Amino acid sequence: MAGADFLQLDASSAPAGGLATWLSAALRDAIADGRLEVEARLPATRVLAAQLEVSRGAVVEAYQRLTDEGLLSGRRGGGTVVRARPGPVPTPVPVAASRPDAIADLSPGVPDLSAFPRAAWGRAERSALAAATSADLGYGDPRGVPALRTALAAWLARTRGIRADPDDILIVNGVAQGLVLIARLLTDRGIDTVGFEDPGSAGARGHLQRWGLDPEPVPVDGEGLDVDRLVAKGLDAVVLTPAHQFPTGVVLSAERRRALADWAHGGPGALGGVGRLVIEDDYDAEHRYDRPPVAALKALMPERVIHLGSVSKTLAPAIRLGWLLAPRAIHDELVDARYWLDLASPALPQLTLAELLRSGAVERHLRLVRHRHRHRRDALVAALARHVPQGRVHGVAAGLHLLVTLPGEVDDIALAERAREAGVVVHPLSQHRQGDGPPGLVIGYAATPPDRLRDAVARLGRVIH
């Protein structure tokens, strides 16, 4: 094999059958350390293949892998150029500090941040700033800027089946801040315990506990939250993820939805005119691949549900924008609490997001990432079937993660720690449990390209065996 002047690449060092993996790793390293700067142009695939004396298909595949990661992009008439530098993927709910040499952080809840629509966001931001009035740059309405609330009302009607007036929407800094407002409301009303899915998000559970609520575990099965068990506990409020339950991935069934509505309307509760309260975290509702969409619970019982959503999984967590729709009987109380918390969310990001929603850019972005996520999910499922055949895979039809339950008396916390030592970060299912249950691993895939997923699962399989 010959070599190339470009990055002094020498294909003789590539492992047998691993040319594309070797080349994509070499290019990724060159982008990361600055040898290839953003906007640098790469050789044509045919040219580089000839210089390395390898098949053009291997070069095409390597370029495509880095394009899927968001590091490269093709330009009509301009070849392939470097789009961005790679960065670390954060762990939202870590079980311990990540190893600095981790090859793959497969923590759940992280979208494909490399696909963030930078150009569309930049255009929308410039447009929003140009149109912004002096009043838009003031402290503003604690409910959020009217433009975003109007755009969200249309978006939620179109995608989640929720019919709401813009004045019913409260803009918050992500679902986390929404949970803070709700916890304060409930504790002020004398409610100190809420139903909570088991298993359920350790992060959401921690937020509720931090602000004075005791999450009472309610079992989850193949149809979602066990409403009969909720009824038996005599509670006045429940927090759940009905569109894509975290971490099992199940959808709350139609029968359970009806039972939940009966429970919510079945008594006065401690909230007076609101009755019993359902707190709906619309987790991962936008990301589905092999099943039809389901409407939000808010559409079924608007005066019994607080609906929470955000762009953390749609665009990026760093934007810190979300929304809360509450029954009108408690809406003003939540707006007042929002004001005293931090006045309002930043106006310019709100105006930018409003422009993205109005222009259809968010829908276009979702179509792109759904295709990419599906490809990564398929790679992960195939790798698990090969390397972890004893595991049972759940929740593959939607979302950004899947669950693998394991047979026997496996200590999944110890297993996750051994996997971390081998360079693979996953969550033990026990981290998200309050009661007993089978062991398992919660594995995110949206932020990791297929070749790195396959490599990570091969390492995970060796750890398990």
| Whether the Cβ atoms of residue 296 and residue 161 lie closer than 8 Å to each other | yes
Domain match, 192 and 257 both: yes
Give the domain range for residue 401.
104-110+363-464
Q: Which of 329, 359, 389 is the last residue of a domain?
A: 359
Closest listed residue to residue 136, CA positions, set 342, 346, 357, 319: 346
Regarding whether 285 and 156 lie in a shared domain, the answer is: yes
Q: What is the C-alpha separation between 185 and 181, in angstroms, rounded?
A: 6
CATH code, 407:
3.90.1150.10
Domain count within the chain: 3
**DSSP 8-state symbol, 221:** E
Distance CA 88, CA 110 (A): 12
16 domain residue, yes or no: yes
Residue among 114, 48, 40 at smallest CA distance from 78: 40
Helix (H) or strand (E) segment spanning residue 278: strand 277-281
Do 381 and 297 lie in one domain? The reply is: no
d(CA 165, CA 302): 12
Decide: 8 and 30 in contact? Cβ < 8 Å: no
**Is there a domain that residue 38 lies in?**
yes
Q: Are residues 163 and 67 in the same domain?
A: no
Q: Which two tokens stand for residue 443?
A: 């594995």
Read off the amino acid at residue 427.
Answer: H
Q: Are residues 253 and 370 both part of a single domain?
A: no
354 lies in the same domain as 370: no
Q: CA–CA separation, 445 vs 251, rounded Å?
A: 19
> Residue 115: inside a domain, yes or no?
no
Position 159 in a domain: yes
Q: Classify residue 421: in a domain, yes or no.
A: yes
Residue after which a domain boundary falls, among 307, 335, 359: 359
The answer to whether residue 119 is domain-embedded is: no
The verdict on 342 and 217 lying in the same domain is: yes
Instruction: Give domain status of residue 118, yes or no.
Output: no
Residue ending a domain, choose from 340, 359, 378: 359
Q: Is position 76 within any domain?
A: yes
Round to the nearest angstrom and report the end-to-end CA distance of the chain. Answer: 37
Same domain, 154 and 230: yes
Contact 230, 238 (CB under 8 A): yes
Same domain for 342 and 279, yes or no, is: yes
Same structural domain, 302 and 371: no
Can you tell me which residue has the tokens 């709906």? 280
Written as tens digits, the pLDDT of the chain (465 aa) is 467 888 889 888 888 767 888 898 899 989 988 899 988 999 999 999 999 999 998 899 889 888 877 788 876 666 899 988 775 544 444 434 344 455 789 999 889 988 899 889 999 999 999 999 998 889 889 999 999 999 999 999 999 999 999 999 999 999 999 999 999 999 999 999 999 999 999 999 999 999 999 999 999 999 999 999 999 999 999 999 999 999 999 999 999 999 999 999 987 766 666 779 999 999 988 898 888 888 999 999 999 999 999 999 999 999 999 999 999 999 999 999 999 999 999 999 999 999 999 999 999 999 989 988 999 999 999 999 999 999 999 999 999 999 999 998 899 999 999 999 999 999 999 999 999 999 999 999 999 999 899 999 999 999 998
For residue 268, the tally of other CB atoms under 10 A from its CB is 11
| SS3 category, 376 | helix
Q: Do 341 and 379 fall within a single domain?
A: no
User: Which residues does residue 220 pair with via DSSP β-bridges, in sequence order?
Assistant: 225
Pair (340, 379) in one structural domain: no
* CATH number reported for the structural domain that contains residue 21 in this entry: 1.10.10.10
Q: Cα separation of 362 and 222, whole Å?
A: 32
- Structure tokens of 287? 């990301």
